[in-house]
Structure 1
Amino acid sequence: MAKSKKFLKLAFISLLAVAMLAACGTNAEKTNGGGNEGAKNALETIKKRDKIIFGVKNDTRLFGLKNPSTGEVEGFDIDIAKALAKQILGDESKVEFKEVTSKTRIPLLQKGDIDAIIATMTITEERKKEVDFTDVYFKAGQSLLVKKDSPIKGLKDLKKGTTVLAVKGSTSSQNIREKAPEAKVLEFENYAEAFTALKSGQGDALTTDNAILYGMADEDPSYHIVGGTFTDEPYGIAVRKGEKELLDALNKALKTIKSNGEYDKIYKKWIKKDFSK
Structure 2
Amino acid sequence: MKKIVLALATAAMLLTSSAFAAKKSKAKGKVWIIATDTVFRPFEYTNEKNKFVGIDVDLLAAIAEDQGFAYDLQSLGWDAGVAAVQVGQADGLIAGATIKQSRIDSGWIFSEGYYNATQTFVVAKDSKIASYEDLKGKTVAVKNGTAGMDFANSLKDKYGFKVTVFEDSPTMYQDVILGNSAACCEDTPIMADNIKTAKLPLKIPAGMESEGAPYGFAIMNPANKELLDMFNKGLANIKANGKYQAILDKYLK
Same-fold call, TM cutoff 0.5:
yes
Contact 1:163 1:184 in 2 (8 A): yes
Contact 2:177 2:201 in 1 (8 A): no
Q: Which residue of 2 aligns with 1:261?
A: 242
> Greater shift after overlay, 61-70 or 236-245?
61-70
CA offset at residue 239 of structure 1? 1.1
Q: Which residue of 2 aligns with 1:189?
A: 167
Asked if 1:128 is matched to 2:108, the reply is no
Q: Which residue of 1 aligns with 2:233?
A: 252
- 1:113 maps to which of 89, 112, 117: 89
- Greater relative contact order (Cα < 8 A, sep 6+): 2
Q: Which residue of 2 aligns with 1:78?
A: 57
CA offset at residue 69 of structure 1? 4.0
Within 2, Cα distance between the matches of 1:156 and 1:231?
A: 19
Asked if 1:198 is matched to 2:176, the reply is yes
Amino acid at match of 2:102: E
Amino acid at match of 1:150: S
Q: Which runs of 5+ in 2 are unaligned?
A: 1-11, 17-26
CA shift in 2, pair 1:227/1:100, >3 Å: farther
Contact 2:81 2:93 in 1 (8 A): yes
> Greater shift after overlay, 217-226 or 132-141?
217-226
CA offset at residue 121 of structure 1? 0.3
Q: Which runs of 5+ in 1 are unaligned?
A: 1-29, 35-45, 273-277
Amino acid at match of 1:198: V
CA offset at residue 221 of structure 1? 5.1
CA offset at residue 110 of structure 1? 2.4
Amino acid at match of 1:82: A
SS of equivalent residue, structure 1 residue 59: coil
C-alpha offsets along residues 220-256 of structure 1, whole Å, 9 cap, x if unaligned? Answer: 2532222342242310000123233222111000001
Amino acid at match of 1:106: V
Could you say which structure has the larger radius of gyration? 1
**Displaced runs of 4 or more, over 6 A:** none
Q: Which residue of 2 aligns with 1:227?
A: 206
Contact 2:115 2:215 in 1 (8 A): yes
- 1:180 maps to which of 138, 156, 161: 156
- 1:99 maps to which of 61, 75, 86: 75
Within 1, Cα distance between the matches of 2:28 and 2:116?
A: 30
Amino acid at match of 1:121: A
Asked if 1:145 is matched to 2:122, the reply is yes
**If the length of structure 2 is used for normalisation, what is the TM-score?**
0.80
- 1:240 maps to which of 216, 220, 225: 220
CA shift in 2, pair 1:241/1:53, >3 Å: closer
> Greater shift after overlay, 206-215 or 222-231?
222-231
Q: Which residue of 1 aligns with 2:146?
A: 170
C-alpha offsets along residues 127-164 of structure 1, whole Å, 9 cap, x if unaligned? Answer: 1131210000010011012223211123232212x211
Q: Which residue of 2 aligns with 1:55?
A: 35
C-alpha offsets along residues 69-98 of structure 1, whole Å, 9 cap, x if unaligned? Answer: 42x2111111111111111227xxx44221
Contact 1:65 1:74 in 2 (8 A): yes
CA shift in 2, pair 1:237/1:264, >3 Å: same
SS of equivalent residue, structure 2 residue 58: helix
Contact 2:151 2:210 in 1 (8 A): no
Paired positions, count: 224
Within 2, Cα distance between the matches of 1:99 and 1:55?
A: 6
Contact 1:176 1:207 in 2 (8 A): yes
